[in-house]
Amino acid sequence: MAIDKVWSSQISHRAGELCLGGIAARSLATNFGTPTFFLDEQDFRDRARAWKSALVGAFGDHSGNVYYAAKAFICTEVARWVAQSRIGLDVCTGGELAVALAAGFPPERMQVHGNNKSMAEISQAIEIGVGVIVVDSLIEIARVASIAKSLGKSQKILLRLTPGIEAHTHESIATAHEDVKFGFSIASGAAWEAILKVCTHKEIELIGFHSHIGSQILATDAFGVAADRVIELAAKFRDEFGYELAELDLGGGFGIAYLPGDVPLLPEIVLPALWTAVESACQKYRLGIPKVSIEPGRAIVGPAMFTLYEIGTIKKVILENGAERNYISVDGGMSDNIRTSLYGAQYTGIIANRNCSDELALSRVVGKHCETGDIVIRDIYLPVDVVPGDLFAVPATGAYGRSMASNYNHVPRPPVVAVIDGKARVILRRETPADLLRLDM
């Protein structure tokens, strides 16, 4: 049982100690060092399955694919889990494709994204037979067509559309929001122009449209608006070309809980809402219901991982209003979690190795980098009796934590350790000082 929505399902508490799969935090730290990302494998697999089930449950015969968005976090072992979960994989660079191939991931279940795919990336994707390429620009239409032609192949594509909706966190702004690098604007006519261009290339098979409206979205309404606009264009396509497009990919962006009290956008909430929106739009535009796909990334891996740090120095600082703030330094920081400084993201965290005092102090959890902005948690109340050597666990770091990690200040990137059935194993090892020097000539 999860003790809180911010923690994964196999997390428990025992005598004040955080445990994953029954293994206590101190034992995890002793065996694997800190900082380390611990990945709850059961939780990951369950979430992957839950998204698939919810899609099938809501859409039945109209279910397309669940594509796990590799950008949130991928390594070969996780790609194998995705394959075993019988869902698809969304990759957006040659590097992500290389990981998938190293894991033996079936190309036909991959979808290839990106606003600036290189010729080499497109060639490789078509050559190995990826299921779908999501095409993002007029230049790319020509590129995909010419490469497919030269390889004597036909390539299925989706066109990425900009439906003019910005959905971000709690806000949904359903007005023209077209000033982005991705996609073809429906409103400006760019999308229609792209459709006409695609139809001039017989090496490209347009199977449908794609729309992705944002990240960490916590309400379903904006997805409905996007579905309506994209389906309206699909109806126009049917009117013009006399047949219906088979597929619709509504993207990802499903929000998770970072702080206690956050209400995540769970699959059993999202998919019925998407069904209602798609069904009603199709009815409105007298269109058959297409196969609908989605792309959860964060929503699968985000809550499944936490970061375990060791606390180093602690310093009391007196604020201008006379109050005190405890600066608590951990042995990582912006190199393993850039989201706090990059997006102002908020996290919670707990002392993971023991029962602490009930008395709390205003605290700021900071990293060890030479930068004032190197903050893990800007404001949090933590026990007054924290001491160096205590362990500190930050939940919900699975998405865009390790995947955006850097070697800033030549800090080695942390490993990812998977835990299942009470056993822990390294699936992505920690960098060593030798790794940090391996590119030096």
Q: Write out the binding residues for its own copies, residues 159-178 only, by CB under 8 A.
A: 176, 178
Window of 47-55, 60-68, 132-140, 233-241 that interacts with its own copies by CB under 8 A? 132-140
Interface pick for its own copies out of 292, 361, 415, 419 (rule CB under 8 A): 415
Give the nearer residue to its own copies in terms of CB position, either 349 or 367: 367
Residues 121-136, buried b or exposed e (16+ Cβ, 10 A)? bbbbbbeeebbbbbbb
149 φψ region: left (φ > 0), alpha (ψ -120 to 50), beta (else) = alpha
At closest approach, how far in Å is the CB of 374 from its own copies?
Answer: 7
Contact 91, 112 (CB under 8 A): yes
Q: Does 115 bind its own copies (CB under 8 A)?
A: yes
Identify the burial level of 434 via C-beta atoms within 10 angstroms of its C-beta, where 0-12 means exposed, 13-18 middle and 19 or more buried.
Answer: exposed
Tokens read off for 276:
């209602």
Total binding residues for its own copies by CB under 8 A?
89
Of the residues 19, 75, 356, 370, only one is catalytic, namely: 370
Interface pick for its own copies out of 146, 235, 327, 354 (rule CB under 8 A): 327
Residue with tokens 């929505």: 5
Fill in the per-residue mask, 208 to 247: x = in contact with its own copies (CB under 8 A), - = not in contact: ----------------------------------------
Q: How far apart are CA 353 and CA 19, in angstroms?
A: 9
Q: Does 71 bind its own copies (CB under 8 A)?
A: yes
Q: What is the dihedral of CA 173, 179, 183, 185, to 10 degrees?
A: 80
Window of 87-95, 223-231, 255-263, 272-280 that interacts with its own copies by CB under 8 A? 87-95
Q: Does 426 bind its own copies (CB under 8 A)?
A: yes
Q: How far apart are CA 335 and CA 409, in angstroms?
A: 8
Q: Does 89 bind its own copies (CB under 8 A)?
A: no
How crowded is the C-beta side of 190, counted as CA atoms within 13 Å? 22
Interface pick for its own copies out of 19, 55, 99, 278 (rule CB under 8 A): 99
75 as an active site residue: the answer is no
411 φψ region: left (φ > 0), alpha (ψ -120 to 50), beta (else) = beta
Interface pick for its own copies out of 1, 242, 243, 439 (rule CB under 8 A): 439
Interface pick for its own copies out of 128, 219, 269, 314 (rule CB under 8 A): 314
Active-site residues: which are they?
A: 370
